[in-house]
Each structure stands twice: as structure tokens, then as C-alpha cells.
Structure 1
Amino acid sequence: MRKEYDLQTDVLSTIVATTPVTKSHAQLLAAFATRTDYRGTRYVKTRDEFGEQPARILGADGSAVAADYHAWIDAQLAAHGGSAREVWRAHKDAGYLLVEIQPVLHYFVHDRDGDQDNFTQFAVWEEQAFVEREVFPRDDRWGLPDADELRRGSTGGALVEQVARRTLGTPSYRLNEAIDMQRFAALAGAVFADRQRADGDRRLIETDTDTGETRIVSVRELTPGYDRQRWRGRRFFDDWSASSAGRAGERICTRWAFNTSDYTDPQGRRYLDFVPGWTHTRKIAALKNTHKLDVYSLYGKLTQFDERIGTPFAWYFYGLHGNLVKSGQMERVLEAAEDGLIVLPEHDYRVLRQWGDNPYGF
């Protein structure tokens, strides 16, 4: 089902899929500019940490056996009573070859200017097919994959025949999603507020351990500042706008890519969220062992960090992410600012103070 914020269409998917993969994505960017309404789209980030995925099956002679690996495996399991061993027995001598896909995910953004969340983000897979092994082990001396492992294309630790790795064809693009981030953020904030309101109304029984007396209270009454809680994604955008980063004209959509999620649990409760990922390509070292530094030296390190990133107050947002800058370092800067030991721009101090009063992160 198409989501409220999803701008993906068959036409857009076809344009992406039929554009050749080129260095720096020049032809894809040109296609966005000339064949869609997203003129000015730019590349921002690549994620290449994904494992290989089974795609299709070839015969030992290279002929086509199955165009969809997963559908073929499901059909074989159904035909053999769900037994992975029986599927193996039926095909172990066929020498079938597994075609796998090596995926890489690229992020592109069409910035509409104005509010920091006013952009469209495109996530596009680049996929290269290759062959390097057979589907089934030749024998069961080292075990066999079970049904779930077969469905995933896993060997389950069994030894399978390897072949010299060769690529098949050229890499291709596939549109994963096209998200109107402003719509996504508005919906995520509303869903969070509705869930927060309902949770806050839940009634609990509180027992005084000394007197044994009980009273009925709401979650809201037991949680100081409960109604001030906001969706963390909204805070991330608002903090950027209010801080030196946004005031300097930096656009959040070129400095961060957003891995979005939309999940409904078995009870029907919906959760929309994202995890931001930085787009810098320079090697940036984490700030380590700063507990040995006085606060002036720590703040100096954070200032140098900003210079390497190229954005003022970048250290704060990287601290929200939690990998290169730690929350304890942020807390030390806040304490030092309030003690008058260092001077932050007033707008940055307010952002940091709000975080200190109600911490969040990703």
C-alpha cells in the first residue's frame, strides 16, 4: 500500500531503472533534471554495508532455470512437503548456479528550500549480479541448510562447490523509495503525539510501601515533563534550524541522509521514525579520551571537529548520533557554559540546554 508521504510512481521507477549506471551518477542526475519534476536533485551519500542477496538460478551450462530464486525455492519446498533435505536430494546433482546481487544504496535529494524538512529524498539501489557458487552442496558430509536457510540463500555452514567469480551484465539502478520528508515528518510527529497521549492516559495503581495505601494515577502524572515530549525527528530538524548550522545557511538534507522506517505492531500501533546518517566523506576520527582534558581543551577539540566537518555546531548533531561525539562530552560543554568557563552563541546554548533538560538521540 502506498504511504501518504511516498512519491514513488511507476514512471519514476522506470526512469531510474532504465538509466545506465555511470561514474558520479551523472546520467541519473541528468534524467532527474530532464525527465522528472525534480530538477536540481543532487547526490548526497552511499551506504555499502549490505550483504549479497540471492536473485535467480542458472543451470550448470549457464541456461536459465528460475528468474526468481525465492519463488523457486518456495515452490520446491511446497512440492517436497517442506523438507529442505528432499529438495536437496532432488537437485543435488544438477550443478545449479546461484546468481546473487551485490547491492549498494545511494541517497539523492531534491531540496525545495524554506523549512529544513522541505525536501524529497530518493533512495536508489545499485545492483550488480554475479555468480561464484552452486546452490546446493554436492553431499551432506558437512550438513545441509534448513528450510529457512534455503529461503535466505544461505548454505547453513554446508560446503558448496565454488566457481570462479564472474559478474553478469552491467550494474543497474532500482528505485527503493521517494519520500516527501515534510509529509513524513508531519505524519511521524502526529502519530507520536497520538500514541504519547494515549499512553499518558493509561491508569496505574501506585502502592505506598510504608502504609500499604494505594491510589490510581496516570502515566502522565508519574512522569515529570511527560507532555513536553516530542518526536525526536522533529527535534532534530528544529534544533538544526535554531542553531548556528541552520543560521549559517547549511541545509540539513545535504549534510545528513535519513534511513526511514514505518512499522505497525501486532496491536495496531504505528511507529514512524528515522535514523540520520552523516554525508561527510572525509575520514573523521572519534573524540576519545577527552576525560583527561580540561573543558577548554575539550571545547577546542569540538571546534576543530566542526572545522573538519565544515558546519558550525556540527559536534552537537554528531553527538545526537553518538558515534564520533559522546553525550558525556556534550554534558561537560553545557556545564562549562553555565559556569561561564566557555561562551557559546546564545542560540546554540539554548539548543544544548533544551537537550540537557530532555535528552534524545539516535
Structure 2
Amino acid sequence: MTALARFPDVASLEAVLAGLDPASADADLIPALAAAFPGFAFGVAPVDDEYWRDTRSVLRPDGTRIGELRPWMTAELAKDNGDIAAVWRRLKETDLQITEWRGTSAFVSAPTGPGAADYIQIALGREIEWRAGPIVNPNYRPWGKEELLDPAWPRQDPLPETDRLAGPLYRLLDRAGGAVIHVRSFLDRCSRVEREKREAKRPELERRVIREVGPGGTRETPFLDAVPDYFEFVPREPRFFQDWEESSARPQRVFAHWALDARDYTHKGEREVGFIPRPLKPPKERLLMTPEASVHALMDRIESVDREVGLPFGWFFLMTHGHWVEPDVGLAIAEGLKAQRVRLPDPDARVLLRWADRSYGF
């Protein structure tokens, strides 16, 4: 990235995406971004996480669009005074159809420096509109109006290519404010917001005491004496990147292996900032802790995971997510390290033992 490179902004990105021709959008996405934002080496990573938009249209068999499903169906319900069964009986005899937009995520990233967190990430949806099926399910009477306004039954079947109507289209996925992030700045934001939340509680915590009742009577300990590092807490998001920087994973880029499902929003007056990491290449099988598993067998398994995902110490970061590698695996290996029964490269051992002492997960 050059010093004069202009960081992507939402308005400019939306203009680039709107200018893509669906017929060549997949091939044109990265060149279009590079032309709009020179100086960045963009790359895209698709994620297989099918979702559906709530936007639907009503079609005639010849493809003529009558209107959006929800307002159209609301008017149809009014014709029969809200009688769901009557609307269903009437509409199932028509040849009207509905469309739906199906999408999958795609994460565009570009480095901005040499550090693990020195990159930008753009969360996109790659969406296609399909002819989903008849206006109502002819074989099943709906029992609530939402089954007519937002039908889910067509999603049970894969759709043939002949039912594709439009797309692929790319659009920003504004998942609670995390569509476009500079990761290092985002991590700083995570730390700052957490620090501000804890500082706001200082007056209360300075008054709080922990009472313990024992044979000698009641003992009171000031909370901050019991938890002296309360204000030094580091959120899990910065720790994930710190562990990457200080482990065998460092030579590889985070965005080559992980996408960040980021969020930044305010709920009930409290700001929430963070992300959930999503592996781009998860292992085929989960690594679970079993009673009979020895620490040496676990070492063989984690080495196999690393080879499969193509990342040294990759098993550790999968473990912080918790789904693909159980945290108990890491705890067992940490105990093996302490007992000098197994070995890891020194940087990885330090990271794992630090995690075992104060674990985090997503």
C-alpha cells in the first residue's frame, strides 16, 4: 500500500459494486476495486454460508413482475378479510410465482502493513435472485399470515440454473456496522470501548467488597484487592492477533485463513464492538477431547490439523473459536508442557500457556 492510497469508504464501495455487470461481476470485482482504490492489493475469499434476503417479488409465468410480495400479499389478505385459508385456496389455483434472493458471504481484504492486524476487510454478500416456486405451497395450508408474507418452504430444495433470474450482485453486508474495517484500528476501538466500560464502573467497584464466612467469622476483601488486574483486561479480539504475532503463525497473513464477522453497534445505551473469526478452510473433522486420549495422541492430532489447514499452530486459533478444536485439548497439552511430557516451539508454548492461564474464546 502506498502512503497516498485512499482508504475505501462505504459510498465509494457502493458505487463500485453498483457498476458491476452481473454477467461478469465475479471476474470484475477485484479489478474494479483496484481501479477505484489504487495502491491496495485486494483479494477475495468466499464463504459458504448461504443466507436469504427478505426481499421477494411476485411473478407471472412469463416473468412479468407484479410487485413486492409482502405488500401484495397484505392486499390479498385484505380482499378476504384476513381469512388465511380463503387466500390460500384462491392463490393455489393461480399460476403466480415468487422469487427470492439467496446469498453467500465474500470477504475482500488488502494488506496495509507488515503486522498481523495491518489490513482492511470488506464484508460483501454475493447474491442471486431465483424463481423460488408457486405463490403458495399447494400441499400445505398456512396457519399464520407470516407463512404467506415470508414463506420458508421453497428453501428446502436446491434450484436449477434455469430458475436464475438476476445476479450475481455484490453488496456491502453492513452486519451491525462492520462492513468495512481497518483491522488494527478496529482492535484499538475494541480495547478503548472495553476500557471505558470498566472505568465507568470504578466508583462502584471501589466500594464493592467480597464477604467470606468461615470458622473465624466474616472476612471482607475489597473487590479490587481480590481482582487487582480488573482494569488491565485485554479483550479477546486483540489477544487473538497478539497470539498470532507471537506464534509460529506469524509468517502468514490472518486474512488468508480467517474472515472476521465484525460488529459495532449500540444496544440499550451500551456499545458493543468485536468480531467472531470464521475459518476460510476448516478441517474436515472436529478434534474432540475424549477420556482415553493421551497427550501424545493429541499432539499427533494437532499436527494433522495444522497440515490440513496449511498453518503452523493453526489448531490453536481453531481452538479459540471452540467448534473445530475443543478447548480441553489445549488445556491438556498445556498440562503436558508443564510436566515436560511434550514440546512445542518456544513461541507457541508461551502463547498456549498464557491462554491456559487466562483462556478466551469466541
With the length of structure 2 as denominator, give the TM-score of the two structures: 0.80
Q: Quick one: which amino acid aligns to residue 145 of structure 1? A: G
Distance 1:294 1:186 in 2: 40
Distance 2:326 2:88 in 1: 54
**1:84 and 1:146 in contact (8 A); partners too:** no
Matched, 1:182 2:181: no
Counterparts of residues 139-154 of structure 1 (less than 5 Å): 142-147=141-146, 149-154=147-152
Counterparts of residues 255-274 of structure 1 (less than 5 Å): 255-266=257-268, 268-274=269-275
Matched, 1:65 2:66: yes
Q: CA deviation at 1:272?
A: 0.7
The aligned residue for residue 280 of structure 2 is 279
Deviations 1:48-92 (A, max 9, x none): 3324644222346532222x445656x749979x95849948984
Distance 2:123 2:89 in 1: 40
Counterparts of residues 249-260 of structure 1 (less than 5 Å): 249-260=251-262
Q: CA deviation at 1:259?
A: 0.6
The aligned residue for residue 342 of structure 1 is 342
Q: Quick one: which amino acid aligns to residue 142 of structure 1? A: R
Q: Secondary structure at the match of 2:121?
A: strand
**1:53 and 1:102 in contact (8 A); partners too:** no
**2:25 and 2:168 in contact (8 A); partners too:** no
The aligned residue for residue 41 of structure 1 is 42
Quote the sequence identity (%): 22
The aligned residue for residue 241 of structure 2 is 237
Q: Secondary structure at the match of 2:50?
A: coil
The aligned residue for residue 122 of structure 2 is 122
**1:145 and 1:155 in contact (8 A); partners too:** no
Q: CA deviation at 1:231?
A: 1.1
The aligned residue for residue 325 of structure 1 is 325
**2:88 and 2:141 in contact (8 A); partners too:** no
Deviations 1:138-169 (A, max 9, x none): 79x8343335x55544479xxxxxxx972213
**2:23 and 2:168 in contact (8 A); partners too:** no
Counterparts of residues 106-255 of structure 1 (less than 5 Å): 106-136=106-136, 142-147=141-146, 149-154=147-152, 166-176=163-173, 177-199=179-201, 201-203=203-205, 204=208, 206-209=210-213, 217-218=222-223, 220-223=224-227, 225-246=229-250, 249-255=251-257
**1:104 and 1:127 in contact (8 A); partners too:** yes
Distance 1:224 1:166 in 2: 62
Q: CA deviation at 1:241?
A: 0.4
Distance 1:319 1:116 in 2: 19
Matched, 1:313 2:317: no
With the length of structure 1 as denominator, give the TM-score of the two structures: 0.80
Q: Secondary structure at the match of 1:109?
A: strand
C-alpha change, 1:206 and 1:178, in structure 2 (3 Å) is closer
**1:54 and 1:152 in contact (8 A); partners too:** no
**In angstroms, what is the RMSD of aligned CA positions?**
3.7
Which consecutive unaligned segments of at least 5 residues does structure 2 have? 1-6, 155-160, 174-178
Distance 2:11 2:323 in 1: 38
Greater CA deviation, 270-279 or 297-306? 297-306
Q: Secondary structure at the match of 2:14?
A: helix
**1:321 and 1:361 in contact (8 A); partners too:** yes
Kindly tell me the number of residue pairs found equivalent between the two proteins: 343
Distance 1:91 1:185 in 2: 56
Q: Secondary structure at the match of 2:170?
A: strand
Counterparts of residues 16-35 of structure 1 (less than 5 Å): 16-20=17-21, 25-35=26-36
Q: Quick one: which amino acid aligns to residue 266 of structure 2? A: T
